[in-house]
Structure 1
Amino acid sequence: MSKIAAIDLGTNSMRLMLCEVVGKKFRTKSKEVITTRIGKDMGHKGLLTEKAMAKNIEAIKYFKKRAEEYGAEKTIIFATSAIRDAANKDLFLERVKDETGLDIMVLNGEEEAEVGMLGASYGFEDENLLVIDVGGGSTELVLGSEDKILYSTSINAGAVRMTEKYVKSNPIQQSDIQELEKSLETLFSDALNQLKEKKIDKVLAIGGTATTAASIFHKARVYDWELIHNTILNKTFLDNLFETLKSMPLKERYNIKGLQKERADIIPAGIFIILYVLEKLNKEQVIISENDNLEGIIIKYGEVF
């Protein structure tokens, strides 16, 4: 048995997974999330702000302490879109190393796609799975079967990035939605044209947007990963949810069961991205997976699989 901790430093939130691995299987696991928004206000210069860096370093210290208390033999920390794109990422990585002793692994788009697939496909066998991972700064589309990647791409369109660019007010104006859709047409065109030619048995979605949509579906008062995992959401439900969210002032969204206050501003754009992909690929449903890049990073780099 091995005890391992993994920390995912995403654009919108930071997540910790503590798990026991026995015989190439996850025996127990728990996850914790803090909304840290490392990518907030990066602006045209693509710079991480001092406030965002300080907030995230404090969160890393807290998660490192949690891992030590758990008795983790190994702690893996990795970063995705916001750190990958930041002009001052080296400064941040050095500060994290100096203040916590941890070396952050910065995944490129291809690596992010691969670990997402490794995690999401855990438990599925001999099926072509399309995994949609809507993050804060980017969306990964990966088609594969277990550890075999058939197609993957990383697109700079995430829930935070698209909200900051196109959502000017809440309720959301139709003109903003049209501009958002026009942007997605440009960004996703090549990828979706290639995917249309391939066999897709099931569509899975991972990441905060996907699990939040499932949490709203279940009207969950407290987040429960076992309840969320393998939830099937029909496109009709997602369409109706988007229409409801876009028509609400931000504070009204706070009353929706299953929706964290911290995600209330960015969730419409995230759901719109999932809907856009489903629509273009003529798919009517998506399976929400709680197995994601945290499991994937351990499968790839934990040296226990």
Structure 2
Amino acid sequence: MLHGIIDIGSSTVRMAIYDIHGGDIDMLLKKKHVVGLAAYVKDGVMTQQGIDKAVEILGEFVSFLHCFHITHVAAFTTAALRNAKNSREAVAEIERRTGLSIRVISGDEEATFDFIGATHAFGHESGLLVDIGGGSTELVAFAGGSIQQKVSLPLGATDFHARFTGDVLPTLAECRRMEEEAGRILDGAERYVTEGAKDAFTDLRVAELAGIGGTFKSGLALYNAVYGKPADNLVIDAKKLPELIRRFTSDRDLAQEDVVLLMRAVPDRLPTILPGLTIAHVVCQHFGAKTITYSDSGVREGYIYSEIIGK
């Protein structure tokens, strides 16, 4: 049976079409728009411009679904709309204007869906799962194939770009300020834990992170291009992150070949790639991780396994 899953994120709005049979899922098609909804939040309020932009993109998706008579549709939204002071009103207007029913998933739910989706593809029994989004970062510590602790932190690539730089690419000094802010939030991660042991992340150390989502997908593409890795390489050497970030900061005299490389590797994420990699670098430092292994399955697949197949 065909299902349309729409993920209204803080950086991108995505729709994927899946063929679901029993416990098996097959993604047939994926469409996305890099919208940067987190940047439309002013003084904690989602602006009318942001609402209109979401309606425009979702209207396109709805037309596509109608064309192919796909009636099983689930739509959910994460940090940008979830954290806005006018979240309820903004979501209600988007629903009214698009005809979609939109579920606002909590940070805790997002982390759970991330874990369920990623661990279907990630072959490790224990570790730390990280999803750096546009408006939040989800951390999930797991062992024995089960979640030990999870938290959603106010760390996002789109949000950091909007807060710390006024240009497409940040300066090195702006990246340093992002590092300081990310470090401060990670040091106080227990404040954001809603259930379970508050100090679960305090002494956690891992050699490898499992990275999911657009930041890690784009970061891996840039890493592979810069360091001449094969396209199917899924592992980032964490110690290379500071060098990778410095290479593309705006106050460096970028060589033309570097501009070409950047535009080819991450054309849709030019404003958010360095903020995202900066957060990734701080997360690696905080937990002592030496490598990041990327998984292409995440919140949408986790939603399917939990909310569609599991019910």
- TM category (shorter chain) comes to 0.7 to 0.9
For the pair 1:289 / 2:295, whether they are aligned, the reply is yes
Worse overlay, 259-268 or 127-136: 259-268
Counterpart contact for 2:205–2:287, Cα < 8 Å:
no
Please state if 1:299 is matched with 2:297. Answer: no
Structure 2, unmatched stretches of 5+, are 191-198
CA distance in 2, matches of 1:250, 1:34: 30
Residue 248 of structure 2 aligns to a residue in which SS?
helix
User: Judging changes above 3 Å, is the alpha-carbon distance between structure 1 residues 145 and 64 closer, same or farther for their aligned structure 2 residues?
Assistant: farther
Matching residue of 2:133: 135
Q: Would you say the 8 A contact 2:4–2:16 is kept in 1? A: yes
1:210 maps onto 2:216 in alignment: yes
Distance 1:219 1:174, change over 3 A: closer
Contact 1:14 1:35 in 2 (8 A): yes
1:237-295 Cα deviation digits (max 9, x unpaired):
43322111224679974652544434211211100111111112221110111101111
Equivalence for 1:164: 162
Tell me, yes or no, if the aligned pair for 2:263 and 2:270 is still in contact at 8 Å.
no
Q: Deviations over 1:219-240 (max 9, x none)?
A: 49xxxxxx97771111134332
Q: Which amino acid aligns with 2:33?
A: I
The match for 1:236 is 239
Matched, 1:178 2:179: no
| TM-score, normalised by the number of residues in structure 1 | 0.86
Using the TM superposition, give the Cα deviation of residue 72 of structure 1 relative to its aligned residue in structure 2, in angstroms: 3.3
Check conservation: 1:203, 1:286, Cα contact below 8 A.
yes
Structure 1 position 270 matched with structure 2 position 276: yes
- Give the conservation status (yes or no) of the 8 Å contact 1:230–1:289: no
| 1:81-139 Cα deviation digits (max 9, x unpaired) | 11011122222222222222211111111111111111111134561131111111111
Q: Give the 3 Å change call, closer, same or farther, for CA 5–208 of structure 1 in structure 2.
A: same
1:78 aligned counterpart, secondary structure: strand
Q: Answer with 243-252 or 54-63: which moved more.
A: 243-252
In structure 1, distance between residues paired with 2:153 and 2:61? 29
Task: Tell me what 1:111 maps to.
Answer: 109
SS at match of 1:87: coil
* Partner deviation per Cα, 1:183-208 (whole Å, 9 max, x = no partner): 12220014497436347474111111
Structure 2 residue 249 is matched with structure 1 residue 246: yes
Q: Are the aligned partners of 1:230 and 1:288 in contact in 2 as well (CA < 8 Å)?
A: no
The letter for the 2-side match of 1:277 is: V
Tell whether the 8 Å contact from 2:23 to 2:309 is kept in structure 1 after alignment: no
Identity of aligned residues (%): 21
- 1:21 matched to which residue of 2? 20
Distance in 1 of aligned mates of 2:32 and 2:113 = 19
- The answer to whether 1:35 aligns with 2:38 is no
* Native 8 Å contact 1:124 1:146 kept in 2: no
Sort the Cα spacing of 1:116 and 1:91 in 2 relative to 1 into closer, same or farther, 3 A. same
- Cα shift at 1:146: 8.3
2:46 counterpart SS class: coil
2:149 partner letter: Y
TM-superposed CA distance for 1:70, in Å, is 4.3
Give the 3-state SS of the residue equivalent to 2:25 in structure 1. Answer: strand
Equivalent runs, 1:78-117 vs 2, <5 Å: 78-117=76-115
- Residue 65 of structure 1: CA displacement? 2.6
CA contact (8 A) 2:4 2:15 kept: yes
Q: Secondary structure at the match of 1:6?
A: strand
Distance 2:174 2:10 in 1: 22
Code of the aligned partner of 1:233: I
Task: Please name the residue that 2:62 is paired with.
Answer: 64
Task: Say if 2:221 and 2:266, in contact at 8 Å, map to a contact too.
Answer: no
Q: TM-score, normalised by structure 2?
A: 0.84
| TM-align CA RMSD | 2.9
Q: Is the CA contact 1:17–1:31 (under 8 Å) kept in the aligned structure 2?
A: yes
Aligned-residue offset at 1:179: 2.2
Distance 1:38 1:174, change over 3 A: closer
